[in-house]
């Protein structure tokens, strides 16, 4: 048995994978070096910068903790209950992960905002209104986005426990929570919590809309303000270096604290549970209903308000929609090219590093470096769409790589020796063996990349001028002008385009189903 992963023997040249890896390294570590050099040796950080650091870490820690603590009972209820519509509920609960951030925030405002459903109910019963802006609003939005991700990951841990283990603890009259579920949670929860912490560290659009002022500013938002409003390149560079350092520490912790599971194998039987009675069933049902309402009600509000706001949209929205589609298409092509070439170098340290580094970077950090590179030579606004597509592809790379690489390794493990004996190598091997069996993960990766790029409100805010705005940026500007009806219509268009892009790509990978 091999003691370490070895590169796949596909009979292909290794230089495409090397170029892809070095390109990703240049976009992450290279841009970091650029901003570090630009930061110089002057004043490092002021009080406002340290306040942004504290707020960033605190909101990420709170968001991660709440997401995981709520996800545990939800995942447990889904794991031990079988009911009609369960698979549909699991699918719908994953929608916020591919939802454009600004669309989801508009839905949250419709429910929890000053004129939202919650404040309407509170006013009707004589209670004071609540505000969604500030620390608690940022945490609420991050829980909305990351709760489904935590549920899906923890649910996989529950489903990995073989049915025979539950039968054994029932025979011995032992508590499954103590002897099966707690060891599983101890193994998977720390890594999941730190992964969500890392995602919340690099959140931009949520803090931009719901931050509520200088006391609720994240490092990402401070970088944006330094570039767009103060044109303080050195200050933005110092913040970008600090941002990368915080994310790198979180990424290393997420890598090291994940414990291996030792549940053993099973016979793939359906799990039967003998613990709990009617009260636990009622509790599980209540948990699932409340979670479904929390996740799906904002989406329903986006649709209902968007339908009435379609007539209020300005005509400039349609060119912005076309630009969003073009950026998403280019970003998806770039992301798939990087993921495939890196996956074909599986086992190499360079490929592994390149596929992981974007998790420790942020779009604004990379955008800051690219801004500093191109600024002396040309107007950065001219490259707004191309840079946005490139950065979006880089940020989606870890997800695409982890969807494609394991399947590529499985295909090689199942058919590699047979292909070698037939002399099937190089392009012929890709065409007749690899690509036909990678349609599903490639389609899923393409859909995820397209949806994430379609709804991104990050780098485009640094580079774009009035004639280069994408749909998310156009929607944000409408919200800033208090044209909420028009913004709701744009949100519906953006939601439809994002879901359509994901469905077309994902369905294309399952065309023979």
Q: Give tens-digit pLDDT for 77-101.
A: 887 777 777 777 777 776 777 778 8
Task: Looking at the structure, tell me whether residues 251 and 324 fall in a common domain.
Answer: no
The pTM (predicted TM-score) of the whole model is: 0.77
Task: Looking at the structure, tell me whether residues 247 and 179 fall in a common domain.
Answer: yes
User: Does residue 8 fall inside a structural domain?
Assistant: no
Is 176's pLDDT higher than 70?
no
Stretch 440-466: mean pLDDT: 83
User: Does residue 74 fall inside a structural domain?
Assistant: yes
Last residue of a domain, one of 255, 283, 307: 307
CATH number of the domain within which 441 lies: 1.10.3720.10
Residue 105 tokens, joined: 């925030």
Closest CA to 204 of 223, 185, 182: 223
Task: Looking at the structure, tell me whether residues 262 and 357 fall in a common domain.
Answer: no
Task: Looking at the structure, tell me whether residues 245 and 336 fall in a common domain.
Answer: no
**Distant-in-sequence, close-in-space partners of 63: CB < 8 Å, separation ≥ 6:** 138, 139, 142, 143, 146, 196, 197, 200
Residue 225, domain extent = 45-307
Over the stretch 392-426, which tens digit does the pLDDT of each residue have?
Answer: 999 888 888 877 877 787 777 777 677 767 776 76
User: Does residue 301 fall inside a structural domain?
Assistant: yes
User: Does residue 391 fall inside a structural domain?
Assistant: yes
Over the stretch 105-145, which tens digit does the pLDDT of each residue have?
Answer: 888 888 888 888 888 888 888 888 888 888 888 999 999 98
Task: Looking at the structure, tell me whether residues 33 and 135 fall in a common domain.
Answer: no
Last residue of a domain, one of 307, 327, 348: 307
Q: What's residue 275's pLDDT?
A: 54
Task: Looking at the structure, tell me whether residues 331 and 262 fall in a common domain.
Answer: no
Task: Looking at the structure, tell me whether residues 213 and 345 fall in a common domain.
Answer: no
Q: What's residue 139's pLDDT?
A: 92
User: Does residue 361 fall inside a structural domain?
Assistant: yes
Task: Looking at the structure, tell me whether residues 117 and 263 fall in a common domain.
Answer: yes
Stretch 251-263: mean pLDDT: 59
Task: Looking at the structure, tell me whether residues 230 and 333 fall in a common domain.
Answer: no
Most confident of 85-99, 154-168, 262-276, 285-299: 285-299
User: Does residue 56 fall inside a structural domain?
Assistant: yes
Is 264's pLDDT higher than 70?
no
Task: Looking at the structure, tell me whether residues 272 and 391 fall in a common domain.
Answer: no
Task: Looking at the structure, tell me whether residues 382 and 436 fall in a common domain.
Answer: yes
Stretch 3-20: mean pLDDT: 60
CA distance 259 to 183: 10
Task: Looking at the structure, tell me whether residues 284 and 369 fall in a common domain.
Answer: no
Last residue of a domain, one of 307, 332, 347: 307
Number of domains in the chain: 2
CA distance 462 to 218: 16
User: Does residue 433 fall inside a structural domain?
Assistant: yes
**Burial environment of residue 500 by CB neighbours within 10 A (0 to 12, 13 to 18, 19 or more):** middle
């Amino acid at each position: 048995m091999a003691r370490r992963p070895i590169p796949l023997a596909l009979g292909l040249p290794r230089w495409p994978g090397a170029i892809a890896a070095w390109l990703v390294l240049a976009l992450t570590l290279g841009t970091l070096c650029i901003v570090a050099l630009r930061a110089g040796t002057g004043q490092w950080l002021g009080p406002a910068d340290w306040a942004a650091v504290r707020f960033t870490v605190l909101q990420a820690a709170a968001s991660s903790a709440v997401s995981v603590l709520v996800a545990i009972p939800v995942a447990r209820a889904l794991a031990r209950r079988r009911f009609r519509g369960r698979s549909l509920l699991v699918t719908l609960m994953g929608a916020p992960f591919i939802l454009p951030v600004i669309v989801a925030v508009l839905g949250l405002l419709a429910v929890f905002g000053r004129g939202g459903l919650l404040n309407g109910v509170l006013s009707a019963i004589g209670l004071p209104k609540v505000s969604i802006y500030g620390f608690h609003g940022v945490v609420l939005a991050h829980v909305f986005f990351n709760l489904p991700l935590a549920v899906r990951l923890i649910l996989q841990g529950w489903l990995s426990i073989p049915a025979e283990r539950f039968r054994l603890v029932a025979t011995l009259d032992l508590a499954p929570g103590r002897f099966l579920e707690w060891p599983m949670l101890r193994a998977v929860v720390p890594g999941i919590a730190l992964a969500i912490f890392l995602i919340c560290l690099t959140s931009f659009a949520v803090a931009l809309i719901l931050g509520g002022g200088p006391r609720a500013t994240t490092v990402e938002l401070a970088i944006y303000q330094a570039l767009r409003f103060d044109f303080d390149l050195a200050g933005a560079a110092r913040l970008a270096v600090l941002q990368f350092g915080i994310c790198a520490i979180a990424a290393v912790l997420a890598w090291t604290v994940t414990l291996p599971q030792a549940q053993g194998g099973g016979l793939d039987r359906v799990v039967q549970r003998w613990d709990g009675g009617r009260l636990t069933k009622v509790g599980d049902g209540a948990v699932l209903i409340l979670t479904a309402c929390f996740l799906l009600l904002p989406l329903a509000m986006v649709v209902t308000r968007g339908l009435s706001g379609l007539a209020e949209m300005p005509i400039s929205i349609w060119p912005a929609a076309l630009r969003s589609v073009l950026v998403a298409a280019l970003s998806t092509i770039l992301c798939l090219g990087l993921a495939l070439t890196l996956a074909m170098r599986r086992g190499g340290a360079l490929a592994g590093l390149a596929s992981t580094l974007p998790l420790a970077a942020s779009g604004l950090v990379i955008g800051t470096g690219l801004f500093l590179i191109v600024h002396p030579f040309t107007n950065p606004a001219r490259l707004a769409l191309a840079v946005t597509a490139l950065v979006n592809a880089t940020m989606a790379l870890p997800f695409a790589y982890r969807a494609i690489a394991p399947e590529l390794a499985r295909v090689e493990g199942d058919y590699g020796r047979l292909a070698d004996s037939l002399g099937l190598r190089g392009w012929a091997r890709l065409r007749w063996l690899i690509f036909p069996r990678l349609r599903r993960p490639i389609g899923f990766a393409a859909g995820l990349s397209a949806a994430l790029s379609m709804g991104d409100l990050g780098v485009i805010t640094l580079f774009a001028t009035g004639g280069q705005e994408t749909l998310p940026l156009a929607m944000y500007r409408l919200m800033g002008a208090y044209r909420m009806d028009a913004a709701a219509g744009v949100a519906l268009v953006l939601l439809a385009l994002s879901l359509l892009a994901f469905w077309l790509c994902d369905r294309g990978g399952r065309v023979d189903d």
